[in-house]
Amino acid sequence: MVYELNYSKETGKVDTIQHGIDTIPLAEGNTDYQAFLACNAKQDVPLDLDSTIEVIVPEPKTQEVFPLPVVAPDFLVQSPKPKKNHMKAHAEAIAESKKAIKSIGLIVLDLMVYIEELEKRISSLEAKK
């Protein structure tokens, strides 16, 4: 099997080595890493562990204009209805959350956008006073 270098998206430096489905950390005590070093030393053109890639940091999108009104994220709107049996309501909420296709990261991003838009609106209202 072939070894491939995996680069960190933050630093651009090699952070792990891919060998088939296995990911090998750059740790001296790791036997897979030692096997890689031995195999790599025998290659005509060995992989360069000191190589780097260019890291491109995306520009933050803080200047976006939202022409539509701010709407609460759907996970807030779809909170469970109050029930007399709080245990049943809790179980239903857990079951619904397992069906959700949104990841935690997307939920946090939705909240950040929601909060930023609310802050803009508050600032504009305070400026009018």
CB 14 within 8 A of CB 7: yes
What integer is the mean pLDDT of 44-54? 92
* pLDDT of 22 above 60: yes
* Statement to judge: residues 119 and 86 lie in one domain: yes
More confident residue, 80 or 10: 10
Domain check: are 47 and 79 in the same one? Answer: no
Least confident window among 22-31, 50-59, 84-93, 104-113: 84-93
Together in a domain, 2 and 51? yes
Mean pLDDT of 73-89: 59
33 falls within a domain: yes
Rounded to two decimals, the pTM is 0.44
Q: Domains in the chain: how many in total?
A: 2
The per-residue pLDDT for 29 is 92
Query: Does 38 lie in the same domain as 90?
Result: no
> What is residue 84's DSSP assignment?
S
Asked if the structure places residue 66 within a domain, the reply is: no
Enclosing H/E stretch for 19: strand 14-19
Strands 22-25 and 3-7: unpaired
More reliable by pLDDT, 22 or 129: 22
Q: Which residues pair with 16 in a beta bridge?
A: 6, 25
Residues 49 and 79 in one domain: no
pLDDT of the residue at 66: 59
- 82, two tokens: 């109050």
Contacts of 17 (CB under 8 A, 6+ apart): 3, 4, 5, 6, 23, 24, 26, 33, 36, 47
Expressed as residue numbers, the domain containing 79 is: 74-128
Residue 58 pLDDT class (50, 70, 90 cuts): confident
> Based on the domain organization, do 52 and 80 belong to the same domain?
no
- The more confident residue out of 5 and 81 is 5
| CA atoms of 25 and 18, how far apart (whole Å) | 9
Residue 21 has pLDDT above 80, yes or no: yes
